Amino acid sequence: MPQCAVIIPAAGRSSRFGGMEKKPFVSLDGRPVWLRTVDAFRSRPDVSKVYLVIAPEDRDDFRARFQSRLLFVENVEIVEGGTERFESVANALARVPESVSLVAVHDAVRPLITPALIDSVFGAATEQGAAMLAVPVADTLKQVDPESNRITGTVPRAGVWQAQTPQVFRRDWLVEAYARRASLSVPITDDAQLIEALGHSVVVVPSAPVNFKITTKDDMELADAVLKARTAAKSAGEPEGPRWGAFDDDAKW
């Protein structure tokens, strides 16, 4: 079983969330979002270590608030991030030993990921070298003029997928991609695009809408509802749900 290091960036500014508290540190059904996300990975036998990346300015507050929780959280290392997400991932990537075969990058604010989805994307990356979770776009997409808010065109959605995380890659590919990032002439928006720029193919693994990224307060309310529904389903003794359903039997939650 190849070992995979998991990098969880939590150093963002949370500018769209509102309020004084950053998204990863907000309580979600009694536990901070970052901890729910970390718990999805840290006890897996195929995970060598989880690297949680926080902003330098959050370090003292993070330790003051969560030090007691960290005492009971094994296989996790706290890493200081940079001003941009890519700098944060690079800082954590530098900590990953060469003996580790794969590296996964997963958003700290996607706490609803299930073991079945992780199994699927880890397996695909083991076979193909690079894989990511995504869902096909179901809604009609419109191009809109940013000044007038008028529709300028309709984007065909056939073959268009919405990227999610984890995105999982061979460690040596990701290290090379980050080393060459500064020389790229096109804007890079995620790690998969970096790997593509090296000439490697990235396999898309079908995911589920429930693996959404918490961006707004409404997303937080939806995540809370999903967790409560999962708890109720377990209490009722319901059997394991569909592979990509919102109510998968998931002991880590």
Q: In the chain, what are the domains?
A: 4-235 (3.90.550.10)
Mean pLDDT of the chain: 89
Number of CB atoms found within 10 A of residue 210's CB: 20
Q: CA 6 → CA 48, 146, 188, 230, distances in Å?
A: 8, 37, 21, 25
- Range with lowest mean pLDDT among 55-59, 106-110, 122-126: 55-59
Per-residue pLDDT band for 20 (boundaries 50, 70, 90) equals low
Q: What is the C-alpha radius of gyration for the chain, rounded to an integer number of angstroms?
A: 18
How confident is residue 33, by pLDDT bands cut at 50, 70 and 90?
A: very high
CA distance 135 to 100: 28
- The model carries a pTM of 0.89
Under 8 Å CB-to-CB from 34, ≥6 apart: which residues? Answer: 8, 10, 24, 25, 52, 108
More confident residue, 187 or 215: 215
pLDDT for res 67: 86
Does residue 19 have a pLDDT over 90?
no
